[in-house]
Amino acid sequence: MEIKTYDGSMGEWQGDAALLLLREEDCGALPDLPYAETVRQLAERQDFKGRKGSSLRVPVFEGGVKNLYLVGLGKAEACSAASVRDTLAWGLRMAGRQHNGSVLVPMAHLKDVFQARAVSDSISGGGPSASAVLGEAAGLCGYVFDKYKEKKEGEYTPFALKEVFAPGLMPEEARRGQTFAAAQVAARALANEPGCAISPAGLAEHAGAMANELGLTCEVWDEEQLKQERMGALLAVGSGSANPPRLIHLTYKPRGTARKKIVLVGKGITFDSGGLDIKPSNFMTTMKGDKSGACAVMGVLRGAAELGLDAEVHGLLAAAENMPSGSSYRPDDIVRARNGKTIEIENTDAEGRLVLADALCLASELKPDAIIDLATLTGACAVALGKWRAGLFSRDDALADALLAASRRRGEAFWRMPAEDEHIEETLKSPFADMVNSGPRYGGAIFAAIFLSRFVEKDIPWAHLDIAGVDFMDKEWGVYSKGASGFGVRTCLDYLAQ
Ligand code: BES
Ligand code: MN
Ligand code: ZN
């Protein structure tokens, strides 16, 4: 997708379509827009009021442009950079599916929308410009997971949109937005692959290929090395599968001296059947998405390299397949993590925290300025926050605030959750080992976060992002397509870029 500026007058626009985002307030007295009179008359006739989620296609028969799309942003007071991004993506997607190869987006009006929201958006400070948001929306709107489908119809209709033109565009900003989007799309594409297509070793191959492409380093530990390196928890989780586990270490180093060193840790369960504590079938579908954390980390590294960030960024992917078999790890087993601590297995379906435990030990040994892990860790987090908001757990206020600000700038919703609780801490006790891996049902997401904290060096700022639920969209909406969402990529990338 190309995004270009357009210098001509709106009336002279010769491309396929124009896309106008309108607030309810804009529909009474239209601002300075192209085709203002046509727009006004049609909006009136078709009763288009700018309501959120409403749209109107106006076929144009004279002049160059074939279609004019009006899409509603809703009430001005409810508009935000996030709703503009989602609405843009939705509108561009609609235009692209309806055979429009080039679309004009009048920026002057968009900038008005942004201006009106300047006050509330400035809480996060330095929010993305309208150009960057357009870049993100354009880069995200066209992706669908269709590579295994022969019949391309409905949401899989071939996507015609190739060029977006925007008068007054800041090209550098738009390109930056596109880079954020491309990082997220890469994460989606990988996470959407089923378990039969991507094993832990397959994930390592993808990481290696990406490293070659972008000049990163990639080190992969196989089972032998995992044994030597005392990664007992990761090995236990992977032991039931015919596809053995891997620890993948990607490193991005900036050209000059690095300002900071950050380690990202990703849960890479290529399929989570639950293991011997097997999941009921209705909970097992979508569990190919249990590698979403690792895929997001790969996306962030791609973005970091493409943006040429000035921080050193490490990605540790803890990859395993959680399967039941004669060689599986069992309930009652006691496994030893890399830092020597022993864990009594109460439930083999609480496998994510185990693979992360070893990876977090490794992350701490790198002595970074901060550690951030991304994991589809607990159903409890999805129960608490819904499928559209992820959990952020951290004992470090500065890191938590920085991540929350980044998430607001990029329109990915996070909610800060407790990362300490003396009562839940109690429930980690095991009679026979240093801790158990799963606790009582209530507070399950907090239990998991506290469990993870035991493998992070005390003085290193650390945040845990529980993306269970948000990793997988049941239907397309806003910037999201059906399936893997790539949630967290833009937030982490924005945090690193600050
Ligand atoms: N991968 C799941 C969590 C999950 C649930 C991700 C729903 C995405 C959507 C995780 O490994 C898991 O099974 N967690 C258990 C933990 C329990 C056994 C303590 C859960 O949440 O039920
Ligand atoms: Mn599980
Ligand atoms: Zn899992």
pLDDT digits (tens, 9 = 90+) for 248-263: 999 999 999 999 999 9
Residue of 278, 290, 378 to test ligand 1 pocket, by largest number of atoms within 8 Å of CB: 378
- State the pLDDT at residue 124: 44
Dig out the tokens for 345 from the structure: 């297995």
Q: How far apart are CA 250 and CA 317, in angstroms?
A: 8
Near ion ligand 3, which residues have CB within 5 Å?
269, 272, 290, 352
User: Residue 5 above 50 pLDDT?
Assistant: yes
pLDDT tens per residue, range 18-62: 999 999 988 877 766 667 777 788 888 889 999 999 999 988 877
Set 353, 408, 409, 410: catalytic member: 353
Q: Is 482 annotated in the active site?
A: no
CB of 273 within 6 A of ligand 1: the answer is no
Q: Which atom of ligand 1 is nearest to the CA of 351?
A: 11
Residue scoring higher pLDDT (461 or 117): 461
Ligand 1 center to 481 CA (angstroms) = 23
For residue 224, is pLDDT > 70?
yes
Distance between Cα 445 and ligand 1 center (Å) = 9
Structure tokens at 222: 């196989």
| Whole-number Å distance between alpha carbons of 237 and 76 | 50
Name the residue with the closest Cα to ligand 1, atom 14: 378
Summarize the confidence of residues 108-137 as an average pLDDT: 71
Rounded distance from Cα 349 to ligand 2 centre (Å): 4
Using CA atoms, how far apart are residues 273 and 324, in angstroms rounded to an integer?
A: 8
Tell me what percent of the residues of the chain surpass a pLDDT of 90.
85
What is the 376 CA–ligand 1 centroid distance (Å)? Answer: 7
- pLDDT of res. 32: 66
User: Residue 122: is it exposed, middle or buried by C-beta count within 10 angstroms (0-12/13-18/19+)?
Assistant: exposed
User: Does residue 444 line the site of ligand 1, with CB under 6 A?
Assistant: yes
User: With a 6 A CB cut-off, is 438 part of the ligand 1 pocket?
Assistant: yes
Closest residue CA from atom 3 of ligand 1: 378
Distance 194 CA to ligand 3 centre (A): 15
Q: Please give the number of the atom of ligand 1 that sits closest to the Cα of 289.
A: 8
259 is catalytic: no
Closest ligand 1 atom to Cα of 347: 18
Mutate to test the pocket of ligand 1, among 284, 292, 349, 466 (most ligand atoms within 8 A of CB): 349
- The 10s digit of each residue's pLDDT in 413-450 is 999 999 999 999 999 999 999 999 999 999 999 999 99
Q: What is the reported pLDDT for 109?
A: 72
320, 237 Cβ separation under 8 angstroms: yes
Tell me, in angstroms, the distance from the centre of ligand 2 to residue 156's CA: 31
Place of tokens 């992820």: 390
- The pLDDT assigned to 119 comes to 40
CA of 270 to the centre of ligand 3 (A): 9
Residue 363 scores a pLDDT above 50: yes
Query: Which atom of ligand 1 lies at the shortest distance from residue 283's CA?
Result: 7
Low-confidence winner among 12-26, 229-243, 319-333 (lowest mean pLDDT): 12-26
Ligand 1 in reach of 352 Cβ (< 6 A): yes
Residue nearest to atom 22 of ligand 1 (CA): 379
- pTM over the 0.85 mark: yes
Distance, CA of 362 to CA of 233 (rounded, Å) = 13
Going by CA atoms, what residue is nearest to atom 5 of ligand 1?
Answer: 379
Binding site membership of 290 for ligand 1 (Cβ less than 6 Å): yes
437 lines ligand 1 (CB under 6 A): no
Which residue is closest in CA terms to ligand 1's atom 16?
A: 350
Is the CB of 376 within 6 Å of ligand 1?
yes
Å from CA of 345 to ligand 1 middle: 15
Give residue 389's pLDDT: 98
Mean pLDDT of 199-210: 98
Average pLDDT for residues 232-244, to the nearest whole number? 98
Task: Annotate the chain with three-state secondary structure.
Answer: CEEECCCCCHHHCCCCEEEEEEEHHHHCCCCCCCCHHHHHHHHHHCCCCCCCCCEEEEECCCCCCCEEEEEEEECHHHCCHHHHHHHHHHHHHHHHHCCCCEEECCHHHHHHHHHHCHHHHCCCCCCCCHHHHHHHHHHHHCCCCCCCCCCCCHHHCCCCCCEEECCCCCHHHHHHHHHHHHHHHHHHHHHHCCCCCCCHHHHHHHHHHHHHHHCCEEEEECHHHHHHCCCHHHHHHHCCCCCCCEEEEEEECCCCCCCCEEEEEEEEEEEECCCCCCCCHHHHCCHHHHHHHHHHHHHHHHHHHHHCCCCEEEEEEEEEEECCCCCCCCCCCEEECCCCCEEECCCCCCCHHHHHHHHHHHHHHCCCCEEEEEECCCHHHHHHHCCCCEEEEECCHHHHHHHHHHHHHHCCCEEEECCCCHHHHHCCCCCCCCEECCCCCCCHHHHHHHHHHCCCCCCCCEEEEECCCCCEECCCECCECCEECCCCHHHHHHHHHC
Q: In the predicted model, is pLDDT for residue 463 greater than 80?
A: yes
Distance CA 289, CA 387 (A): 14
Q: Is residue 50 a contact partner of residue 27, using CB atoms and an 8 Å limit?
A: yes
Is residue 136 within 8 Å of 474, Cβ to Cβ?
no
Query: For atom 7 of ligand 1, which residue has the closest CA?
Result: 379
Probe residue for ligand 1, chosen from 281, 329, 377 as the CB with the greatest number of ligand atoms within 8 Å: 377
What confidence score (pLDDT) does residue 135 get?
97
